Amino acid sequence: MEADTCKQCAQFFSVPKDADDYEAGKADCVLEKEDEKGKYWLSKPVTENSKRCDSFRLKR
Amino acid sequence: MNQMLSAKVLEYRGKTLDFSPENPAEAKIPADELHEHLQKPSTARTKRLKERCRWKHASAGEFVEKGVRAGIERMRYITEAHKASIGQPEVIRRALGLANVLNKSTLVLQPDECIVGYHAEDPNQFPLYPELSSMGVQDFLMSDYAPQPAEEAAEIHKYWMPYSLQAKCQPYFDPTDLRRMYQFSSMEAPPFVSGYNSIVPPYETVLQDGLLARIKLAESHIADAQKAMSAFPWDGTKGLDYIEKIDNWKAMIIACKAVISWARRQGRLCKIVAEHFETNPKRQAELLEIADICHRVPAEPCKGLKDAFQAKFFTFLICHAIERYASGYAQKEDSLLWPYYKASVIDKSFQPMDHMEVVELVEMERLKVSEHGAGKSRGYREIFPGANDLFILTVGGTNADGSDACTDMTDAILEGAKRIRTPEPSIVFRYSKKNREKTLHWVFECIRDGLGYPSIKNDDIGTNQMLEYSQYSITGNGATNEEAHSWACVLCMSPGVTGRRKTQKTRSEGGGALFPAKILEVALNDGYDWSYADMQLGPNTGGIETLKTFDDVLEAFRKQYRYALQMCLSTKDVSRYFEIRCMQMPFVSAIDDGCMELGMDANALSEQPNGWQNPVTTIVAANSLVAIKKLVFDDKKYTLEQLNDALMANWEGFDEMRADFRKAPKWGNDDPYADEIITSFYEDIIGGEMRKITNYSGGPVLPVGQAVGAYMEVGSRTGPTPDGRFGGEAADDGGISPYMGTDKKGPTAVLRSVAKVQKNQKANLLNQRLSVPIMRSKHGFDIWHSYMNTWFDLNIDHVQFNVVSTEELRAAQREPEKHHDLIVRVSGYSARFVDIPTYGQNTIIARQEQDFGAEDLEFLDVDI
């Protein structure tokens, strides 16, 4: 079956249960980016049912 | 080879002084590349960080590095929250807006950094503030830097049109007056249009208490208020006050909780990167340590120096960029960090480290600030050429008991600045004769390396000023003696208290400019601006034919100046009125002890007045008045009508006449004729008229003359002036600096002139350019130290220095790619020279390079 939600993405990291912003199904989407100045990482809140985006990488 | 040091020798007190370099190796460095040899990052890491630094410098209003643009997230989430909170108290809506931004925005982490956090969704972006000024956002929408998607940004901009601070304030002013202010030639636009702002965050409460303790305090105040409201017998004259207070405390709790959660989310990002992306074990460990720090601070009190740097930076981001925009980096940084330095370096009780690790942290903090982008409109980018924004921290000075406040933390801040060589943040050093020599050497080394900072402020003047303003406190709770000693420069050169309460929270208290050169121009033309906007710019005060005496000229100026003052100060206070009602800052309120105690918003509570306004181009106006008095009214060589004809022709065809006006006595030469007129102009009109105004805080408003880059911007909008200046040429580059190239009598003559102005001033920026060979010689420190002591004895408020050769500046104009480390002092801030447009570069080259002759050394009583 083709993965189509954030939950199946390798960049999906569930928010721990003891975190201030914990909600069931909530996660951090952490992306590694690179430009001419170098690498950097971005973290954006997502939910497990969010539709996959162009940066989707299947979790293995 | 054109070597750095000249072979200058000087006879002084029976000795022959030679000015060979203190460091003999420098003799081999070509004069035109000195600055490229001075950088010495303390570690390989800070060297890498500097090499990949994402500068946000602007030149002629355009960002220098490609890819820099406005982000959309802040404007998106603040708008989303605003729509979702209709019906709730305004202060709660502001808190929910902040929380929504913090909860939903994208976080950024970059390699090597140890102080983390950013204020936009990408390290090349910066946020916008549609709730402040619709014009400010419109400016971006029309540019290449518009947030994407542009359609969404346009929709958000449209949404805020009726709700913005600008929309609230505008109806109280005549559109004709506002249009005059929008010209930015005689007056700066009102804060409700510019959105430009200044703040001194009470960092101390965050570092000392932590936000969890602030939440508990607010909760306890709410409980007490509710108890008081339910106590019998009900007293409506007091009980109803609790409603607003309870709302404020609730908003503070929302804001603090959101900030804690946001910081911890940042920590979580570090942990995820350490565990899933980073392969270097050393960096992995470092990231896990940062994750732990972000979990603990700013929620809890800081225990060590890493905690303190991180908590401070998070607080900076919220207060200066996320809750609301504010320029500046106001803090007394050495005092603020000293307890944590002691814990980590001396006691080694937490986050143990040595002094050089502190220096590395300072360098990393400087690079974080260098990457900070500000969503300022084009006009404000133009007046800070070569910089991203104004960032100014303060060190040095004295403690309340009169002892020297310099510490090893002061030295680490200065050493880090010298080593890493970034234009920002600028540093102010509070000079006192009690300062230890070890620290003064670091101050001097930064200056002689050409950083343009520390700029030097007179410690006594600043402290006494805080006590004077304190007398006007409307709450009767102005700065104590101890608090008066805690001052730092709010923005550029204006002192304000730092600490747990009473700090300046908004630029409607102090800040904003007006421009005497343009005001004089229109005073000679019945209020009409013929040279730039071609419109009436002030009241009708009579044409040149009505000015029969020099006093008539002065009075025409006075009337035009009063009009400009009235507009500038009334628009600021009206901004304040609506800031209190729709631009509340619940986070800033939460970290201010006064706001917490009284349940008040930070915009509303004023315990320590700090009113000021910035006259820029005063010396062009003053030199012009001297020339008019001498050549028209004393010598009667020309009539005002002839002068008017020459000015209207931009002096073309009036060469001889222009030469006469250029030769008229000028400020900065200890010339009694010029100095008497100019001193009176400063004290009686510029300061005397301003002092008559009382602002929201109940105190007087006083001048803080500090040109920043506005001397170029406004100079270009100011017609020819009677000092012999052509229309469009730059104006004077300080607040009390001589006009470029006209201070011909040496550095001590400048000091003697400037010392004459004492009354009705808050601060005045003095820009001086010193000789590179002398400053880098073995006698450099002694001469500079004597200069500073004389400056202090003359009761002068401020001085800042360029120490850079014309050869090097010219070389950088020819081959900018080879001169990325060439830093210059513009005015109130430093800039990378190659990022300044040519027009501005030439104004720096044109400044008088002050040499020291034997008579100067004698006046300074230099002991060599």
**Helix or strand holding residue B429 (H, E):** strand B426-431
Q: Tokens 């409201």, residue?
A: B229
What would the 3-class secondary structure string for B498-521 be?
CCCCCCCCCCCCEEEEECHHHHHH
pLDDT higher for B851 or B471? B471
CB contact under 8 A, B268 and A44: no
Please tell me the predicted confidence (pLDDT) of residue A2.
58
Q: Around B792, how many Cα atoms within 13 Å sit in the side-chain half-sphere?
A: 20
Which site among B66, B254, B273, B279 would you substitute to test the A interface, given the most A Cβ atoms closer than 10 Å to its Cβ?
B273
Please tell me the predicted confidence (pLDDT) of residue B7.
53
Chain B residues whose CB is inside 8 A of the A38 CB are 52, 110-111
* Range with lowest mean pLDDT among B88-92, B121-125, B383-387, B577-581: B383-387
Task: Give the Å distances, CA to CA, from B669 to B622, B726, B738, B755, B846.
Answer: 14, 22, 9, 12, 17
CA distance B617 to chain A (A): 40
8 A C-beta contact, residue B826 and residue B385: yes
Nearest alpha-carbon partner for B113 in B290, B273, B275:
B290
Give the pLDDT confidence of B472-481 residue by residue, as tens digits.
999 999 999 9
8 A C-beta contact, residue B769 and residue B849: yes
Chain B residues whose CB is inside 8 A of the A16 CB are 268
Separation of alpha carbons B858 and B77, rounded Å? 64
Tokens (6 digits) for B577 = 């009125």
Separation of alpha carbons B131 and B859, rounded Å? 55
Separation of alpha carbons B230 and B224, rounded Å? 10
**Region B586-601 average pLDDT:** 98
Separation of alpha carbons B333 and B454, rounded Å? 13
What would the 3-class secondary structure string for B554-599 be?
HHHHHHHHHHHHHHHHHHHHHHHHHHHHHCCCHHHHHCCHHHHHHC
Helices B281-296 and B241-276: angle between axes, nearest 10 degrees: 170
Which site among B109, B215, B261 would you substitute to test the A interface, given the most A Cβ atoms closer than 10 Å to its Cβ?
B109
User: Cβ of A42 under 8 Å from any chain B Cβ?
Assistant: yes
**Region B532-548 average pLDDT:** 97
CB proximity under 8 Å: B 378-407 to A: none
Tokens (6 digits) for A53 = 């985006």
Which site among A30, A35, A46, A50 would you substitute to test the B interface, given the most B Cβ atoms closer than 10 Å to its Cβ?
A30
User: Cβ of B226 under 8 Å from any chain A Cβ?
Assistant: no
Q: Tokens 């991180």, residue?
A: B310
Judged by DSSP in three states, B721 sits in: strand
Separation of alpha carbons B186 and B817, rounded Å? 37
User: Cβ of B113 under 8 Å from any chain A Cβ?
Assistant: no
pLDDT higher for B303 or B136? B303
pLDDT at residue B3 above 50? no
Name the β-bridge partners of A41.
Answer: A32, B109
Give the pLDDT confidence of A1-54 residue by residue, as tens digits.
457 899 999 999 999 999 999 999 999 999 999 999 999 999 999 999 999 999
Separation of alpha carbons B125 and B72, rounded Å? 9
DSSP readout, B436-503?
-HHHHHHHHHHHHTT----EEEEHHHHHHHHHHHHTT-TTS----HHHHTT-EEEETTEEE--SSSS-
CA distance A57 to chain B (A): 14
What would the 3-class secondary structure string for B592-631 be?
CHHHHHHCCCCCCCCCCCCCEEEECCHHHHHHHHHHHHHH
Please tell me the predicted confidence (pLDDT) of residue A60.
81
Helices B281-296 and B305-317: angle between axes, nearest 10 degrees: 70
User: Cβ of B108 under 8 Å from any chain A Cβ?
Assistant: yes
Chain B residues whose CB is inside 8 A of the A45 CB are 103-104, 265
Nearest alpha-carbon partner for B130 in B320, B324, B318:
B324
User: Cβ of B284 under 8 Å from any chain A Cβ?
Assistant: no
User: Cβ of A37 under 8 Å from any chain B Cβ?
Assistant: yes
Residues 6+ apart with CB under 8 A from B838: B813
CB contact under 8 A, A28 and B52: no
CB contact under 8 A, B269 and A39: no
CB contact under 8 A, B108 and A44: no
DSSP readout, B781-798?
HHHHHHHHHHHHHTT--E
**Helix or strand holding residue B292 (H, E):** helix B281-296
Residue B527 confidence class, pLDDT cut points 50, 70, 90: very high
DSSP readout, B195-262?
---B----HHHHHHH-HHHHHHHHHHHHHHHHHHHHSSSP-HHHHTHHHHHHHHHHHHHHHHHHHHHH
Residues 6+ apart with CB under 8 A from B685: B554, B557, B558, B561
Judged by DSSP in three states, B735 sits in: coil
CA distance B773 to chain A (A): 37
Give the pLDDT confidence of B608-666 residue by residue, as tens digits.
999 999 999 999 999 999 999 999 999 999 999 999 999 999 999 999 999 999 999 99
Separation of alpha carbons B733 and B754, rounded Å? 14
Judged by DSSP in three states, B653 sits in: coil
Judged by DSSP in three states, B830 sits in: strand
8 A C-beta contact, residue B674 and residue B666: yes
The dihedral sign for the CA sequence B153, B159, B161, B164:
negative
Separation of alpha carbons B542 and B644, rounded Å? 14
User: Cβ of B47 under 8 Å from any chain A Cβ?
Assistant: no
Helices B150-160 and B134-141: angle between axes, nearest 10 degrees: 160
Separation of alpha carbons B491 and B613, rounded Å? 11
Q: Around B438, how many Cα atoms within 13 Å sit in the side-chain half-sphere?
A: 9
Amino acid at A35: D
DSSP readout, B134-162?
HHHHHHHHTSTT--SSHHHHHHHHHHHTT
* Interior angle at CA B647, CA B766 and CA B706, nearest 5: 15
- Within a 10 A sphere around the Cβ of B215, how many other Cβ atoms? 20
CA distance B52 to chain A (A): 5
DSSP readout, B739-782?
PTT---S-HHHHHHHHTT--TT-SEE--EEEE-HHHHTBTTHHH
Separation of alpha carbons A7 and B638, rounded Å? 84
Q: Where are the domains of chain A?
A: 6-47
The dihedral sign for the CA sequence B561, B566, B569, B572:
negative
Give the pLDDT confidence of B242-287 residue by residue, as tens digits.
999 999 999 999 999 999 999 999 999 999 999 999 999 999 999 9
User: How much is the mean pLDDT over chain B?
Assistant: 96
Residue B377 confidence class, pLDDT cut points 50, 70, 90: confident
Please tell me the predicted confidence (pLDDT) of residue B656.
98
Task: Give the Å distances, CA to CA, from B826 to B115, B197, B377, B543, B829.
Answer: 29, 20, 20, 36, 6
Which site among B52, B101, B113, B300 would you substitute to test the A interface, given the most A Cβ atoms closer than 10 Å to its Cβ?
B52
CB contact under 8 A, A41 and B273: yes
Helices B838-845 and B806-814: angle between axes, nearest 10 degrees: 160
Please tell me the predicted confidence (pLDDT) of residue B370.
97
Chain B residues whose CB is inside 8 A of the A41 CB are 108-110, 269, 273, 277
Task: Give the Å distances, CA to CA, from B490 to B304, B367, B393, B503, B548.
Answer: 26, 21, 9, 9, 43
CB proximity under 8 Å: A 8-27 to B: 13, 15-16, 19-21
Please tell me the predicted confidence (pLDDT) of residue B6.
53
Q: What value of ipTM does the predicted structure carry?
A: 0.97
**Helix or strand holding residue B402 (H, E):** none
**Region B119-148 average pLDDT:** 95
Name the β-bridge partners of B396.
Answer: B430
User: Cβ of B789 under 8 Å from any chain A Cβ?
Assistant: no
Nearest alpha-carbon partner for B123 in B49, B56, B63, B58:
B56
Give the pLDDT confidence of A17-28 residue by residue, as tens digits.
999 999 999 999
Give the pLDDT confidence of B574-591 residue by residue, as tens digits.
999 999 999 999 999 999
pLDDT at residue B469 above 50? yes
**Region B326-333 average pLDDT:** 97
Please tell me the predicted confidence (pLDDT) of residue B491.
86
Separation of alpha carbons B505 and B462, rounded Å? 19
8 A C-beta contact, residue B565 and residue B760: no
Give the pLDDT confidence of B9-39 residue by residue, as tens digits.
899 999 999 998 999 988 889 989 999 999 9
User: Cβ of B273 under 8 Å from any chain A Cβ?
Assistant: yes
Separation of alpha carbons B807 and B441, rounded Å? 26
Q: What is the CA radius of gyration of chain A?
A: 12
